[in-house]
Structures are given as structure tokens and as C-alpha cells.
Structure 1
């Protein structure tokens, strides 16, 4: 055998040595990855505990401030007979509010990125459905008896669509050629449970006249989805303007805020409503019917 052939041919021992070295390198990479993951988990736990501690401290300071104001007011009420009634009432409110704030301090704090991630995943799913099935970008909220909050969000297939009579199935298919325009996809709205919470808190039914007041108030006070909100119903449109929405991307498909407004409007009117425009920058939502 020539010297060249002898050099080019490797022995089984050499192959085993190479495999062992490769396995050692791979094992080393896995160990490094495990260490990095462990460090990330540790850091996440530390940040979570720090956020909970900061939130708890803020609530406790607020509670102590209320207690101090309450006790001071009550003490002044004993010293100043002229304003005793007012001071005692203020003192009682301060003491009661301080005690509630102290004991109702939240033990668990949900990061804002968590609902943001959930909304993003849902929006991507709806967008993928629209793209892959060739659906229109039109979004309708339709009363649907028997469904959650008695409402479904309908994504039509054709431009000249018609709202189907039944929206119990995910994929709304045509029975014959006459029903072709009713084809599309019917989903559960993200705002369905929010509407059920609003409906349970209202004194009486949500009528069309109550929409401009009830819906913005629920967005701000009940669900804390915006810093402030205003509603206006004119003709066959309902407009809601938001300041500092809690979840960004209002123009994403079936955004919780838009969905809640759509579901509430559809239920109040008892008819399908269309998302006319959504201006994410100005925080404006316009529905039409």
C-alpha cells in the first residue's frame, strides 16, 4: 500500500475518537444551554418577586397614609366641636379605607406582557385564517343565540357577503349556490366574557341609548382597559375614543377592546354590526350597522 493510501485511510479507533470528541462538544453545548436557561429562570423569579414587593409596598404606604389621615381627622373632631361631624366622617372613611387597602393588597401581580402575548397569539391566528382561506378583512359582530354572550364574530369570504342565519359552526359553508355569499368563519369574540361581566353589573338591559355611557365607563372603571374613554352614537354609527389603551394594537383582528365594543353594540341593537374603522394611533373605534 502506498504512503498516500495509508494516510487517507482512517482506522476504526480514529473514528471512535472523533465521535467521542463530537459527543463531548455537543454535551458541553447542552450543559451551557441548561445553565443559561437556569439563570434566566432565576432572574425571572427575582424580577417577579421584586415587582410583587414593590406593588405591595406601594399599597401598604397608601394604607398607612389613609390611616394617618383618618386618625388625624378623628382626633381633630374631638378637639373642634364646630366641625366634629365632618371630621369624624372623614376620619371614619380614612380608617376604613386604610384597613381595606392594607388587607386587600394583591399577592399576585400579572405582568402586562402576559395579556399582550395572548392577544397577539389570537390576532395572528385570525390573520392567518384570513390569509390562507382568502377571507375578507371585514369583521362583523353578530347576535347568535346559544353562543357565549349570545354573539359571534363573523369573517366573510366574499365582498358581497350576507350574514348567515346560523353561526354555530366554525366554518360557515354554503348548502347550495343560493347560500354562497354566507360563507366565512365564525369565531368566539375575545370580548364575549367582558360583555357578560358588564351585563351582570348593569341595572336593567343595555339599550342603544345607554351605549355611549355604559361602554366607555366599563372600559375605564370596570375593566381598566383604558385611562379614559368617550362614546358617541350618531345615526347608524357608534364611535368610541380611548386614551392610553392598556393593550396596544387596536387595529389587530378581534382586539379585546374592539371586540367588547362590538359585542356590546350588537347585543344592544340586536343586529349585526361592522367594524368600520379602527385608528390605533388616535384610539378611535367606529362601528356601523
Structure 2
């Protein structure tokens, strides 16, 4: 009798174990299927983007060829038509070769930046720092940091630290007003790419306009950007709408960081940056950058 009960218990245990194993195998199979599906969807998205670029390249090429044929058929308009043909064919080649080999989804970039923003916010809270962001020209040259550091002061009545002190993460100066943290801005690599892409502006107005265009066309960080300059008052204001990387009022957001870093780099002076709500419907928020009397 006892042996029968023991055998039954053993069989029940084996059944339960086999069910657990089966459930585990099913879960592993589901995970593998989801991973394969995600990879397939990513590949499809990248393929669609590449195809859209190539279709645009073919369209420009067709327009260029049509313009060239029209130039042959209409001699009196050859100069204009040959110019259009050259522009069309050049744009086609450029579009084809600039087709991205890999596409990174905006939510992925937002999550990557979000981790950095959370770390920065934790530093500010832990060290009891001010809600102030000052972008300061650095003392040493680096091709990847655009020669600018982000200084977050500890004191409300702060002063800009010595350039050598800014090379350290934690600034513990004799003058308490110069204490705080110094970071590489998220906008620094963007400024490096921005400078590689074309000629530098001759005036502050031209620079602000170029920065607004770069936010929309160059880096696609926002859907719309409009620049306003007050050179006498030492200020550049850029209204933006439709951020790719989520809320712009977070710590050292790439949009505001790019604008402030570029201004500090080009003007050679500390630039304070603040994000505030927009005053009209043309923009959602405003990146307000000021220089001159930045420190107290």
C-alpha cells in the first residue's frame, strides 16, 4: 500500500517537473520568436528608408536627363537647362551615396539620452547644485568636445572657474562661488560635425540661422526651429517644435546643448542656457542663450 502511494507521488512529481520544463521551453521559444520578429521588422524599416533615398536619387537623375534632352531640343535655353541637368544629376549621385546604411529609431536615441539626463539630474540633486547651465570655452583642445565644458555651479552667486579647473569633473576651488561640476556637453560632438559641414558664419545672426537650420535639416533633432538674435543684449533665442529626443527641458538636452555649445565655441565667451515655455504658437519651448554678464 505504501509503495503504491509512493509510486503515485513519484509519478505526480515527474509530471509536474515535465510540465515546468515544457513551460520553460515554450517561453524560450516565444522569446526567440519575438527576437527574430524584432530583427525582421528592423531590417524592413532600414530597407524602406534606403529605398526611399534611392527612389529620390532616381527621380533627380530622371529630371537631370530630361533637362539635358530638353537642352538639346531647345538651343536657345541650353544654358539654363544644362545647369538644371547638372544640378539634378549631382543631387542624384549625392543622395544615392548618402543613403544611410543603418537607421536608429528615435525612441532608442531618446532612451540613451534619458539615462545620461537621469545621471545629471541625480548629480545636481546629490551635490545640491543650482539649476543653471553655463557652457564655457575649455583650456585644452579636443576634436570631439568642441573645446567647451558644461559648468553647473553650486552657489547661486557663482563665478566662472579657472579654465584649468574646468578640466576636472568635480571643481573644489578655494573660492566657494567657483565650485560645482564640469561635464562634456552632449552638444559638443554635434558642434564638431556642424563645423565640418560648411563655412562658419560671419555674424551672430547668420550663426543663429545656421544653428536653427542644423537642428531641423542637419541633425533632425526638431521639426521646426526659428532663431531670434539680440546682439546688443548678448542673447540668441531659438523657438523649437517637435523634439526627437523628448522633453527639451531635461538636463543638458542635445537641442539646447548644441546651440549653447556652438555659441560658446564661436564667440569665445561663457554662455548660459535656459529652457522656457514659448510665448506664441509658433514654438512649443524656447532655448534662451545669453552671454556677457553670465556670472554674478
TM-score bucket (shorter structure): 0.7 to 0.9
| 1:233 maps to 2:229 | yes
Counterpart Cα distance in 1 of 2:198 and 2:80: 32
Deviations 1:42-61 (A, max 9, x none): 11111112112212222232
Query: Structure 1, residues 183-203: CA drift from partner, whole Å, max 9, x if none?
Result: 222111001112223334454
Aligned to 1:118: 112
Alignment of 1:14-53 (within 5 A): 24=18, 27-53=21-47
Unpaired stretches in structure 1, ≥5 consecutive residues: 1-5
Q: Report the equivalent of 1:167.
A: 166
In structure 2, what is the equivalent of residue 154 of structure 1? 151
Q: Does 1:87 align with 2:81?
A: yes
Task: Determine the C-alpha separation between the residues in 2 that align with 1:74 and 1:190.
Answer: 46
1: distance between equivalents of 2:210 and 2:160? 27
Following TM superposition, by how much is the alpha carbon of 1:109 offset from its aligned partner in structure 2, in angstroms? Answer: 1.9
Unmatched 5+ residue regions in structure 2?
A: none
Retained in 1: the 8 A contact 2:277–2:285?
A: yes
CA RMSD across the alignment: 3.1
CA distance in 2, matches of 1:88, 1:204: 31
Higher alpha-carbon Rg: 1
The CA deviation at 1:104 is 4.3
2:274 corresponding residue in structure 1: 276
Deviation at 1:99, TM superposition (A): 4.2
1:220-275 CA distances to partner (integer Å, 9 max, x unpaired)? 34333234422223203221112333322110110011111111222233332222
- Give the direction of change, closer, same or farther, for the CA distance of 1:272–1:15 in structure 2 (3 Å limit): farther
Compare 75-84 and 250-259 and name the one that shifted more.
75-84
1:38 CA displacement: 1.0
In 1, Cα distance between equivalents of 2:90 and 2:159? 57
CA contact (8 A) 1:211 1:231 kept: no
Supply the distance in 1 between the matched residues of 2:244 and 2:265 (Cα, whole angstroms). 24
Describe the superposition over 1:117-136 as per-residue Cα deviations: whole angstroms up to 9, x where unpaired.
21111111111112222222
Q: Give me the whole-angstrom Cα distance separating, in 2, the residues matched to 1:199 and 1:56.
A: 26
Please, which of 207, 214, 223 is the counterpart of residue 211 of structure 1? 207
Deviations 1:34-81 (A, max 9, x none): 223212211111111211221222223223322332232222332233
CA distance in 1, matches of 2:19, 2:169: 49
Aligned partner of residue 167 in structure 1, secondary structure = helix
Contact 1:199-1:206 within 8 A present in 2 as well: no
- Number of positions where the alignment pairs a residue of Structure 1 with one of Structure 2: 276
Counterpart CA distance in 2 for 1:16 and 1:185 is 66
Shift of 1:16: 11
Tell me: CA distance 1:181–1:30, structure 2 relative to 1, closer, same or farther (3 Å). Answer: farther
Q: Does 1:71 align with 2:68?
A: no
**More displaced 10-residue stretch of structure 1: 159-168 or 91-100:** 91-100
How many angstroms apart in 2 are the aligned matches of 1:103 and 1:162?
48
Between stretches 205-214 and 271-280, larger displacement belongs to: 205-214
Kindly indicate whether residue 95 of structure 2 is the aligned counterpart of residue 101 of structure 1: yes
Task: Mark the CA change 1:112 to 1:273 in structure 2 (over 3 Å): closer, same or farther.
Answer: same
Q: Do structure 1's residue 128 and structure 2's residue 122 form an aligned pair?
A: yes
